[in-house]
Structure 1
Amino acid sequence: DTSCYLAKEAGRNRIHEHTTADQAVIQRLQEGNIISKIHTALKQEHFVCYAQKICDTTPNGGNECDTPNYEILIRLQDAKGQIHAPYTFLPAAERYKLAYKIDHWVIKKSLSQMASIQNKFGWISINLSGQTIAHEETYNVIVSAIKRSGMPADKLCFEITETAAITNPRIGLAFLNKLRELGCKVALDDFGTGLSSYEYLKKLPVDILKIDGQFIKNMLDDKLDLAMVKSINEIAHLMGKKTIGEFVENPEIFAKLNEIGIDYGQGYHLHKPCSVQSLIETYQASGAIQGV
């Protein structure tokens, strides 16, 4: 397909032998199209905030947990109304240094939306890329969004990956400490994937560990994964940190999280992501909020 495409681009009626360089050309062309869509989405509000519950694992938790927490996710809605998952555009955004612009948009938009139902959740969690952590305006964007929305800082949790935090350790540590001084929580995402995870855990100012979903989803059948989950949970609690188990895909996994003592669960068994707007409308329909 690649050879056919490039032969047509070169003027048709010719043979083109495929090389690895050709594939790189195609990738750049595809990414150029994606980048154009990202710029358009930022200008015309084509990005959409989604939310997924993070539920307490106690008997009162689960699908019907009274006061859930939410992770804020992002989707891109194209001109035809089709919704695109983040894996289709975030990698290109990272490579072309646009990730921080998307994160800043999510911070401002999600706070303005979720503030209207702030009495219905414990906290919301927002992902930050390494670019965003290092960007000089990020802290000011967060402070400004808090003031504009009226969202209390202690209802905000910012998720980072180990890689994002240690790309520039000095800047990363300073930024995370400022967030916590502001009153926000910090969560370390996909914990357990790095060989040096425990070493960095002692240095990073985080409140919550999100245990990598690859361990969670296989732990009922894999004794090693189960041992890893138990170990991470025990060490986190010894350090005074809360834990979240990702990829909760069935009731058996959720029950196991409760048995192990993990604090929260997240996954499709508990809640499928929905748009923040539809979440607000659900609360409105139930009479849970007024005047929104």
Structure 2
Amino acid sequence: MTISLLPRSFRARLVGAGLIVGAVVLGLLFITNLLLIERYLDHQTNARTEASHDPLTQVFNRRAFETHLQAVLGDSATHPVVVLYIDLDQFKAVNDSCGHAAGDELLVGIAQRLSARVGRRFLARLGGDEFGVVLTGVDETHGAGLAAEIIAEVRGTPFIWEGRSYRVGASIGVASSKAAGLSPKALMIAADTACFGAKELGRNRVRLFDPNEEYFRQRDEDLRAISHIDEALAAGRFVLFQQRLMPLSEGLPAHAEVLLRVRNAEGGIEPPGAFIRAAERYNLMGYIDRWVVEACCRQLAAWQAQDTAPVVGRLAINVSGASLSDERFPDFVASTIRDNGVDPERLCFEITESCAIASLEAALGFIDRMRKMGASVALDDFGSGLSSFAYLKRFEVDYLKIDGLFVSHLDRDPADRATVAAMVTLARANGLRTVAEFVSSAAILEACEGLGIDYAQGFHCHRPEPLAALVPAEAC
């Protein structure tokens, strides 16, 4: 039994005080937990917002757009879906001339005006200066009407930066699930394609996707071609062929031009054909050029390791305008040659006259870099430009490949003969070797010899063959 020496009243007050302290502590713990829960919920909300919203403009981002589009397309049988693909016109000019801060402010302002215009409809920034809107339960006509309102809204208010006024517009592509299908990817590609078509028509306009229109049929073929290119690059289905050049004078070294072919799904070999045009249009030629350079260097290195000599001393590789304009391409070529231990003198790089003139400074730099390294350079399709003769003095190349347009009737067209004769005279004066392309008959070959052309190339001389055919069978 415990006996307390404290008075009963004091003990009562002490117990009461303890209860009060306990209540206060419990209250503080409760409030703390509430604050922690609130902070956690805020964090979760912010995390969801960051995952679904563009941090700059605060509208939805591309991921949220695609997720929403997938969801609404599930009901599109009863509620048609229309996508608006919006690409700002003249945004790059503002961003480049005024800086990224101006570009960001412009995008924020555009997003706010778009939000006000589209109301409760789903708006997202798809990337860069591109936005998208999803409409449900309406047709293309309604979508085109809203698109026209958006263009008027964007163009209606100039962008002011540091006291200067800039006018920005918009090109908009409109595609419906009825026309493009129920795949989110297909619907977005269709709207994007229509947007590109609007830009090609002059910008600041609306274009509706119509799968039966020739423009969109061609674009669909291009997209299939691009897919073909991606698959060929990934699966290693590109194959190198070559076409030998015939020397027309004794003592001239033998050369061959490298050609690209594709192995199809059945194992057959196809020329690149239409998909090269698509590759040029969609900036994929740079990837193809790099693949060809690497493959050629690997093959030359393999022959060297096997102590096998091909029947030609030099391989000519075509360089596209995209690679010519790529300031990193010369370094790539140099490092690839070095890494494979290839003699640069065994390579020649062909650039077309039109590409060289279009990217004059880049072409001059590329030519200088390759020749200093020990490689040769050929100016292809010479004569196709309006100022061929005027530019020739600036291009310090080794070979002049005469455009087949002047060669194909050389045996019977006096004007072509006179033009080619002038080209040959000019080439000799500049210390260049000449190559006649499209030599398809004995009569044309004889005319080339009579004009003093150094090399002939065409089906009459040599047909395209696999690159391996350059090594004699007994050497394999």
Normalized against structure 2, the TM-score is what?
Answer: 0.53
Which whole-Å deviations, capped at 9, do the CAs of 1:129-186 have from their partners, x for residues lacking one?
Answer: 1101111331122112212333211121100011211222222211211111111111
- Of residues 179-188 and 141-150 in structure 1, the stretch that sits farther from structure 2 once superposed is 141-150
Indicate conservation of the 8 Å contact 2:435/2:454, yes or no: yes
Q: Mind listing any 5+ residue stretches in structure 2 that lack a counterpart?
A: 1-177, 182-209
Q: After superposition, what is the alpha-carbon deviation per residue over 1:164-222, rounded to whole angstroms, capped at 9, x for unaligned?
A: 11222222211211111111111111111111001111111211100111211201111
Q: Which runs of structure 2 are paired with 1:12-91 in the superposition (5 Å)?
A: 22-58=213-249, 68-91=254-277
Contact 2:240 2:259 in 1 (8 A): yes
**1:9 Cα deviation (Å)?**
5.3
Residue 110 of structure 1: aligned partner: 296
* Pairing 1:173–2:361 present: no
Task: Indicate the percent of aligned positions where both proteins have the same amino acid.
Answer: 37
Q: Which moved more, 1:86-95 or 1:163-172?
A: 163-172
Please say if residues 311 and 470 of structure 2, whose CA atoms lie closer than 8 Å, have aligned partners that are also in contact.
no
8 A Cα contact 1:118 1:151, kept in partner? no
Contact 1:107–1:142, Cα closer than 8 Å, also in 2: yes
Aligned residue pair count: 268
**Is there any run of 5+ residues in structure 1 with no aligned partner, and where?**
1-7, 12-18, 62-66
User: Could you tell me which of 334, 341, 347 is aligned with 1:156?
Assistant: 347
Change in CA separation of 1:48 and 1:182 when aligned onto 2, cut-off 3 Å: same
User: Which residue number in structure 2 is paired with residue 286 of structure 1?
Assistant: 474
Task: Report which of the two structures shows the higher radius of gyration computed on alpha carbons.
Answer: 2
Preserved contact between residue 310 and residue 470 of structure 2 (Cα < 8 Å):
no
CA distance in 2, matches of 1:168, 1:210: 19
- What is the CA–CA distance in structure 2 between the aligned matches of 1:215 and 1:136, rounded to whole Å? 33
Shift of 1:119: 5.3
State the AA in 1 paired with 2:319: L
Aligned to 1:140: 331
RMSD between superposed Cα atoms in Å: 2.4
- Alpha-carbon distance in 1 for matches of 2:214, 2:310: 51
Question: For residue 233 of structure 1, what is the aligned residue in structure 2?
Answer: 424
Give the superposition deviation at 1:227.
0.8
Corresponding residue SS for 1:188: strand
d(CA) in 1 for partners of 2:300, 2:450: 32
User: In structure 2, how many angstroms separate the alpha carbons of the residues matched to 1:265 and 1:240?
Assistant: 18
How far apart are 1:20 and its partner, in Å?
11
User: Pick from 373, 376, 395: which aligns with 1:182?
Assistant: 373
Q: Which of 416, 438, 444 is the aligned partner of 1:253?
A: 444
Q: Distance in 1 between matches of 2:320 and 2:309?
A: 25
Contact 1:57 1:254 in 2 (8 A): no
Offset, 1:50: 0.6
Given residue 373 of structure 2, which amino acid in structure 1 is its aligned partner?
L
Deviates most, 205-214 or 19-28: 19-28
Can you list the C-alpha shifts for 1:55-90, whole angstroms capped at 9, x where unaligned?
2102688xxxxx521000101222122322233211
Amino acid at match of 1:105: W
Separation in 1, partners of 2:266, 2:435: 36
- Deviation, 1:286, is 2.4
Amino acid corresponding to residue 377 of structure 2 in structure 1: V
Q: 1:189 to 1:21 in 2, by over 3 A?
A: farther
Contact 1:179 / 1:185 at 8 angstroms: preserved in 2? yes
| Contact map agreement 2:378 2:401 (CA 8 A) in 1 | yes
Q: CA deviation at 1:21?
A: 8.1
The one-letter amino acid of 2:241's match is Y
Letter paired with 1:277: A
- What corresponds to 1:14 in structure 2? none
